[in-house]
A and B are shown apart, each in its own frame.
Chain A
Amino acid sequence: MLPGVTLPQIPALHSNLDVTPQRSALSSSSLRSFRRLPVQEDWPFWVILAVQASILIGAVAFWQVAADRGWIDGFFWSKPSAIYATMIKFFTEGDAWTDIGFTFRSTIFGFVLGTTLGSMLGLSFWWSRNYAAIVQPYMICFESLPKLALAPLVILVFGMGLASKVAIATALTLVVSTLTAYAGVKALDPDGEKLFYSLGATRWQVFRKLVVPSCLPWIISVLRVNIGLALTGAVVGEFIASQHGLGRAILYAGETYDIALVWVAVLVLSIVSIIMYAGVSWLERLLRKGIRQ
């Protein structure tokens, strides 16, 4: 005990904590006002939906009015009515479906290729600790590398077509999948392997019946991240050099000051993104059901 430090007054502290009904404690508690537990009431679903819809309608209406009245510059910001007209034109006269199809294809190819190769690479580290130790610094380098910065190089190597977009999307998704699958491998319970070996299993049996099923939840957990990354990769590829795709449409519209078309392409791109995200979420649920009950 340091000099000058007084001991806490134990008796006083104790009487504060004491819950035995002493007369004095009771009478003082009746004078104190107690707070109520805060309770949050949940609104019905339709109320939430109605509020959400009115916010959207209000924002769009304000945009239209502001552009019409000249509060904002209609040339730079465009306006909902012009965007709608351009949308109709984009789908009837323009090559909306070609662009959508192109972006969709490169995203899906990149997603599938990157996720599959990456997961396989990550799982392969289970086979040899030495091999894993040798490869790991390269993996970390590749991960920290800004892969999008290499996009111009990729375009040079793979050309202007689909291949270069798939390559960029693959590069973005591959690393994430590899690292996640490897994390799954590292999280394996060594006792599980012991059990398999005590039953006389071969390494291949352990891999197929223990390692792969144990790591599947890890692999599945990155699917949703990867679909977003694959789309980013595909669009950036189209920005740099392409003849088709929503990314190219956005770039082209911007360069020709067709702001309404920029909005249209961005809108379509978001819808494509939402659809793919929903699709992958559905796939994820399906796979999870497949491996658990």
Chain B
Amino acid sequence: MTFNAPSGPFQALAPVTLSITPGKFVSLIGPSGCGKSTLFNIIAGLLQPTGGKVFIDGADATGTIGRVGYMLQKDLLLPWRTVLDNVILGMEIQGVRLREARERAHPLIRRYGLGGFEHHYPAALSGGMRQRAALLRTLLFDTDVILLDEPFGALDAQTKLYMQEWLLGLWADFGKTVVFVTHDVEEAIYLSDEMHVMATRPGRVVETIAVPISRPRRRHATLNPDFIAIKERCLELLAIDHNASLGEAA
């Protein structure tokens, strides 16, 4: 993927090949500017890659929108809509009748910790609740693959831990394929089946690491020797300057 920056063409992503097994929880980690978001935009069809293709279920999905659920870093809840009407946005756009969409969303809102807030406006919610509403919106937009771009990046540490458990519960219930971007190594290991470590300039995947820790995981899994070994490896990979000759990455 090459952008035409004002200063000339800028290669954001080197050729990247990722194949993701259905139903898995996969994380992408890497320093800022390693093209994680660019990759997501390409998968979601919001950017036309300068080369390469996206296949979903074996079909060419390059440049087609609405094929995957995509949650951006910001919750992007519409302030003029209630929580319920925000959550059904995806279905509404797909042409599901409003009443039916609301009926489908209601039990989920209750089950996933937003009960009693259906008719509140986003301004009345805490950061964690807003993020949950945004995630439900992504889930209810019924696709097999879900892209989560640092969904918990802006939350405080305590809420973040709570939201990770919440997300794992949700993932176990829905059985979707999740691709998760984060800066937080521990978060990535704790949540995923497989991790792809990326490097910058140009963005590329340098190593794929499987996480063989059994599920359901408990918090103390983070103290497990396997966990610590993976964490060490990741930190090592992230600390290496993969472009020593190019100087320090910005």
Q: Beta-carbon contacts of A274-293 to B below 8 Å, as 1s and 0s? A: 00000000000000000111
| Closest B residue to A196 using CB positions | B93
* CB of A97 within 8 Å of the partner chain: no
Report if A192-B66 is in contact (Cβ < 8 Å); known contacts: A199-B90, A199-B93, A293-B121: no
User: Which residues of chain B in 57-82 are interfacial with respect to chain A, using CB atoms and an 8 Å cutoff?
Assistant: 65-70, 72, 74, 76, 78-80
B141 within 8 A of A: yes
Q: Mark A183-225, 1 if CB is under 8 A from B, else 0.
A: 0000001011011111111000100011001000000000000
Residues of A within 8 A of B80 (CB): 213, 291-292
CA of A199 to CA of B101, assembled, Å? 15
CB-defined contacts of A205 to chain B, threshold 8 Å? 93
Q: Which residues of A contact B89 (CB under 8 A)?
A: 199, 209
Given contacts A210-B78, A213-B78, A292-B79, contact A194 B93 (CB under 8 A): no
Mask, A216-238, CB within 8 Å of B = 1, is 00000000000000000000000
Whether A292 lies near B121 (C-beta < 8 A) is yes
Say whether chain A's binding surface is mostly helix, strand, loop, or mixed. Answer: helix
Task: Provide the bound-state CA to CA distance between A200 and B80, in Å.
Answer: 21
> A192-B76, A292-B79 are contacts. A198–B44 as well, Cβ < 8 Å?
yes
Q: Are the C-beta atoms of A198 and B76 separated by less than 8 Å?
A: no
* Residue with the highest number of chain B CB atoms closer than 10 Å, among A195, A196, A205, A291: A195
Evaluate contact between B93 and A191: CB separation under 8 angstroms: no
In the bound complex, CA of A242 to CA of B138 (Å):
61
Scoring A residues 121 to 151 as 1 if CB is less than 8 Å from chain B, else 0, what string do you get? 0000000000000000000000000000000
Chain A residues near B69 (CB-CB < 8 A): 198
User: Which residues of A are found within 8 Å of B243, using beta-carbon distances?
Assistant: none
Count of inter-chain pairs, beta carbons less than 8 A = 56
Is the CB of B46 closer than 8 A to any CB of chain A? yes
Specify which of B41, B66, B79 is in contact with A200 (CB 8 Å cutoff). B66
B94: interface (CB < 8 Å): yes
Q: Given the complex of chains A and B, what is the CA–CA distance between A230 and B132 in angstroms? A: 47
Q: Which residue from chain A places its CB closest to the CB of B67 in the assembled complex?
A: A200
User: Which residues of A from 151 to 201 have beta carbons under 8 Å from B?
Assistant: 189, 191-192, 194-201
Q: Which of chain A's residues have a CB closer than 8 A to the CB of B79?
A: 292
Other-chain residue from A189, A192, A197, A293 in contact with B46 (beta carbon distance below 8 A): A197
A292 to B123, CA, bound (A): 10
Q: Is the CB of B141 within 8 A of A199?
A: yes
A-B contact pairs, 27 of them (CB 8 A): A189-B76, A191-B74, A192-B78, A196-B93, A197-B45, A197-B65, A198-B44, A198-B45, A198-B46, A198-B65, A198-B68, A199-B66, A199-B90, A199-B94, A200-B65, A200-B67, A200-B94, A201-B65, A201-B93, A209-B78, A209-B92, A209-B93, A210-B78, A291-B80, A292-B80, A292-B121, A293-B121
Chain A positions within 8 Å of B, measured between CB atoms, are 189, 191-192, 194-201, 205, 209-210, 213, 291-293
Ranked nearest first, the 9 interchain pairs of A and B with the lowest CB-CB distance are: A200-B66, A198-B70, A199-B90, A201-B93, A199-B93, A195-B76, A198-B44, A293-B121, A291-B80
B residues adjacent to A (C-beta < 8 A): 41, 44-46, 65-70, 72, 74, 76, 78-80, 89-90, 92-94, 121, 123, 141
Add 20 more A-B contacts to A192-B76, A194-B46 (CB < 8 A): A189-B74, A194-B70, A195-B70, A195-B72, A196-B93, A197-B45, A198-B44, A198-B46, A198-B69, A199-B65, A199-B89, A199-B90, A199-B94, A199-B141, A200-B66, A201-B93, A209-B78, A213-B78, A292-B80, A293-B121
